[in-house]
Structure 1
Amino acid sequence: MNPYRLYLVTDDRQPTDTLQKVVAEAVAGGVTLVQVREKHGDVRAFIERAEAVKDALRGTGVPLIINDRVDVALAVDADGVHLGQTDLPAALARRLLGPDRLLGLSVETEQQLFESESLPVDYLGLSAIFATPTKTDLKKHWGLNGLKRALSVSSRPIVAIGGINADNLRQVAGTGVHGVALVSAICAASCPRSAARSLRRMMK
């Protein structure tokens, strides 16, 4: 099974109990992987939220990925880590995580895409496909043509992220991309389960 198909990135502004409910509902609707993303720098709070999400995922078979922090991933025994370009180097992260955990890497330029071929990562997060309010420091927008180009040159599975929603999801899925990462399309939905189910249907 492709774990990257419908990739949920959590909203760090949601209270922990809300986060836990959103994740449980989203997975019931068809989310295939969950990344806990925290940007506040409070490691204890990060661990608590990651543990809450892990509880929500228990028994579902859906992998738990931690954004940026290898230490948090090891502390909660997560299934993997997703690194940005300024985080721990991928080779060092792989050494700490061991061979069996998933390791993802954000790629924002053609040069980074080229360099990723020699790194010990499992998948790439191609950012950003479209403009998005959650990422304001972007180097570029890949667009659909850029996404197709990246798919043609990378040997790794690619997850598309950035500005993807119900209006453009069919076009993104039509490129043959391995997965799409979503935040607000699920986290901000009035019913995360229905939103996830509807989004999964659009990807067929």
Structure 2
Amino acid sequence: MWDLYLVTDPSYQVDLPEFVARAVSGGVSVVQLRDKHADTDSFRAQAIALQQAIPHIPIFVNDCVEIAQELGLHLHIGQLDMPYEQARALLPEEQMIGLTIETMAQWRACVDLGIRLPDVIGLGPVEATATKPDAPEAIGVAGVAEIAQEARGRGVACVAIGGVDERNAKDLAPHVDGLCVVSAIMGAQDPAKAAERLRTMFQESK
């Protein structure tokens, strides 16, 4: 399910539903709608458009718990967004929650909450990335592998994020359940081909 997880980025001027549908046709298996600057109505409209374009694909919304509640979508939150325990209390069991984890300390703090763990964690950034200029220090493949080993041992899916592309896909594949990408697909002229290459590289390197 998690092999290739696409996070959208509004800085790329594309017809989002059509573009994402093409990426899905090439192998994207999960999509996160991320637009920190959109107002609620615009974000809702984008989410509905994606639901209609890719009805068979899990869709996460970034840091918009109200939209997740309203539309029955999954939620992804970062370390500076709503506290994980609050988000988990607000959503029904069938709606998944993803959480950004940047350090082992953050992972262990989540475990120490003593509640249901996230369904998936985004580990990184693997490398420094222009997509998220305020991102913390890169943890590299080794950092991803260390946290993933603990998390996967507790049944939590792990995807690597932050500077993930064809250069490091093979190195990351043995350690995680999937690759989480932004510019590697959003910046591609042919999102289907870009997705197919990344997913093939990931699966062949597992």
TM-score by length of 1: 0.91
User: Of residues 94, 99, 102 in structure 2, which corresponds to 1:108?
Assistant: 102
Contact kept? 1:36, 1:64, Cα under 8 Å: yes
Instruction: Verify: 1:69 aligned to 2:67, yes or no.
Output: no
The Cα of 1:4 is off from its aligned counterpart by 1.6
**Whole-angstrom CA distance in 2 between matches of 1:104 and 1:44:** 23
Contact kept? 1:108, 1:138, Cα under 8 Å: no
User: Of residues 124, 139, 143 in structure 2, which corresponds to 1:142?
Assistant: 139
Q: In structure 2, what is the equivalent of residue 52 of structure 1?
A: 49
* Residue segments in structure 1 that go unaligned for 5+ positions in a row: none
1:193 is paired with a residue whose SS is: helix
**Whole-angstrom CA distance in 2 between matches of 1:197 and 1:170:** 14
How many residue pairs match? The answer is 197
Contact kept? 1:34, 1:65, Cα under 8 Å: yes
**Whole-angstrom CA distance in 1 between matches of 2:52 and 2:29:** 16
The one-letter code sitting in structure 2 at the alignment partner of 1:164 is V
**Whole-angstrom CA distance in 2 between matches of 1:81 and 1:163:** 22
TM-score by length of 2: 0.90
Q: In structure 1, what is the equivalent of residue 163 of structure 2?
A: 163
Contact kept? 2:161, 2:181, Cα under 8 Å: yes
The Cα of 1:76 is off from its aligned counterpart by 2.3
Contact kept? 1:11, 1:19, Cα under 8 Å: no
**Whole-angstrom CA distance in 2 between matches of 1:168 and 1:86:** 27
Contact kept? 1:47, 1:75, Cα under 8 Å: no
1:72 is paired with a residue whose SS is: helix
**Whole-angstrom CA distance in 1 between matches of 2:127 and 2:185:** 17
**Whole-angstrom CA distance in 2 between matches of 1:136 and 1:190:** 23
Instruction: Verify: 1:82 aligned to 2:76, yes or no.
Output: yes
2:97 is paired with a residue whose SS is: strand
RMSD between superposed Cα atoms in Å: 1.4
Q: In structure 1, what is the equivalent of residue 188 of structure 2?
A: 189
Q: In structure 2, what is the equivalent of residue 37 of structure 1?
A: 34
Contact kept? 2:102, 2:124, Cα under 8 Å: yes
The Cα of 1:13 is off from its aligned counterpart by 2.4
The Cα of 1:63 is off from its aligned counterpart by 0.3
The Cα of 1:77 is off from its aligned counterpart by 2.3
Contact kept? 2:144, 2:175, Cα under 8 Å: no
**Whole-angstrom CA distance in 2 between matches of 1:138 and 1:18:** 27
Superposed counterparts of 1:193-204, under 5 Å: 193-204=192-203
**Stretch of structure 1 that moved more, 138-147 or 25-34:** 138-147
The one-letter code sitting in structure 2 at the alignment partner of 1:113 is W
The Cα of 1:75 is off from its aligned counterpart by 2.3
* Residue segments in structure 2 that go unaligned for 5+ positions in a row: none
